[in-house]
A and B are shown apart, each in its own frame.
Chain A
Amino acid sequence: MPQVNASGQPYEDDAPEPAPAPATMASTDALDDLLEEIDGSLQTNAEQFVRSFVQKGGE
């Protein structure tokens, strides 16, 4: 069932068109390209890198 607002109009019809999402193929490629680029630096001593991040309490 569509969302209905106080004036009885389906909400979806009144909503502005969302900006078009990047085309799936393009974004897939962009994500793969990004991972390709950073792969080397992420793999270097990953475990030691992660384990060395310890933050004392705050809040």
Chain B
Amino acid sequence: MQIAEVPPPLEVEDSRRIFGLETEFGLHVVAPGSRPVTPEEVAGHLFHSVVQWGRSSNVFLTNGSRLYIDVGAHPEYATAECDTIEDLIALDKAGERIVQDLVAEGEQRLREAGVEGEIHLYKNNTDSAGNSYGCHENYLLRRRADFAGFARGLLPFLVTRQIVTGAGCITRTPEGAHFSFSPRADHMWEGMSSATTRSRPMINTRDEPHANAELYRRMHVIVGDSTMAQPTTLLKIGSTDLVLRLLEARVPMPELALAKEMQAIRDIAHDLSGTATVELADGRRLTAVEIQQSFLDSVVSHVDGLIERTEEVERILDLWQRGIDAVRTQDYSGIDTELDWAIKLKLVKRYQDRLGCALDDPRLARLELAFHDVSPTRGLANRMERDGLIRTIVSDEAIERAKTVAPTTTRAHLRGRFVREALASGRDFTVDWVHLKFTGQESRTVLLKDPFRYEDERVDMLLGTVVS
């Protein structure tokens, strides 16, 4: 058997980055009058067709992404490696449709099992009992020795970005309800750590690059909210990427380390006026508006230098500034079709006016769930998008395509090809983020350590063995 060489890592520009998003969906079965049903049973019915073709409830798809049932019996979707934010938005939205496509058969199988009801999948971060689940962001970084110090430089940005990229939520307290920037803010327990389920850090420091560990490491950000509006996802990923580029280049940045990150993230979340100040390590007190503006000013000062001015960069910076301005001026009309918290606040307020009720009314909580429902018919974010009440970035065709086709400019392309051809061949195979293998002793394992490489002779040969 001919042996292809392991190709060297591709030379890529420093500005190129791999992005990924992992979304945990809330799983809710509504079956009044039926026998009790466990989340595990519902998840089993939901994933029946997946297990049929993938022989597992943990599979990689032809679009290069991973779909599985996570701890707690809820569906999780991790996008394939993307090197553009538009690809990432398309794959993220495709994930909503992929899990929603499982609902009809899940409901049918539940019915056959004697449970007449509806299955709802929510792309949100909290349930009615105060449990939280996440939307994790992954950014590929060039390896450096002082990761902890580097990551610490990002924390003031991550704590304050909720005023523009937060999902918004009604917060219920014994003293009444109020609208907050971020549902995740109250569920963060520390700044950095290697754990996720026991303690919940903003940045997970577990060193698992899924790539050549001599060159790269992965920044795993846990603090973000799941976002429905495409422009919010663009800003969430785009602004973080731009700040990371400055930190990676070690350019001088304003000193903004916070004295108490956990206190700060909560204080900011619960102050829609944007006037609450948080304490910095050097004793100063600043608002989230001031801290975000400082990061934005730093980024803007490097455009046309370190940061190439592209249409996408301009779009990110424009929305970022308008988001900060909206909080500063308390006029949300400039962002209420683009940024999740403002879209949701407008929706909640309009329905509250209609009902003439208090903010803690359960009908408004019901409205919030409907907003995050990924169903094209029951889901309000989807319907608002169709009605022009939420703007889009990528086309509907691009999202449909991303359900089955992997990004063409990253390793995901190789994985997608392998999964597609392996399924067509009927042979057993195993696949993960870095390995491709046909089951059987004679077959070789191809190790894909370069996330930027989308062509590889070894994969061609591996797939050639299927045909021959």
Contact = CB atoms under 8 A, between A and B. Distances in A.
Contact of B32 (A4, A43, A45): A45
B200 A54 contact: no
Interface string A26-47: 1100111111001100110111
Nearest to B366: A46
B370 A42 contact: yes
Contacts of B26: 53, 55
A58 B122 CA distance: 14
B249 interface: no
Nearest to B31: A52
B337 A21 contact: yes
B27 A55 contact: yes
A45 B32 CA distance: 10
Interface stretch (B86-94, B273-281, B386-394): B386-394
Contacts of B337: 21-22, 27
Contacts of A25: none
A53 B26 CA distance: 8
B350 A31 contact: yes
A47 B384 CA distance: 24
Which secondary structure dominates chain B's binding surface?
Answer: mixed
A47 B32 CA distance: 13
Nearest to B335: A21
B369 interface: yes
A27 B389 contact: yes
A5 B383 CA distance: 38
B366 A6 contact: no
A19 B122 CA distance: 29
B72 A58 contact: yes
Contacts of B401: none
Interface string B375-398: 000001001100111010000000
27 contacts: A6-B301, A6-B302, A21-B391, A22-B388, A24-B333, A31-B350, A31-B384, A31-B389, A32-B350, A34-B387, A38-B380, A48-B32, A51-B128, A52-B128, A53-B122, A53-B369, A54-B131, A55-B27, A55-B39, A55-B131, A57-B71, A57-B72, A57-B131, A58-B71, A58-B76, A58-B133, A59-B200
Interface of B: 24, 26-28, 30, 32, 39, 70-74, 76, 120, 122, 127-129, 131, 133-134, 136, 196-197, 200, 222, 296-297, 300-305, 309, 311, 314-315, 317-318, 321, 333, 337, 346-347, 350-351, 354, 362-363, 365-367, 369-370, 380, 383-384, 387-389, 391
8 closest Cβ pairs, A-B complex: A56-B72, A47-B362, A46-B366, A55-B127, A46-B363, A53-B28, A58-B72, A58-B133
Interface of A: 3-7, 11, 14-16, 18-19, 21-22, 24, 26-27, 30-35, 38-39, 42-43, 45-59
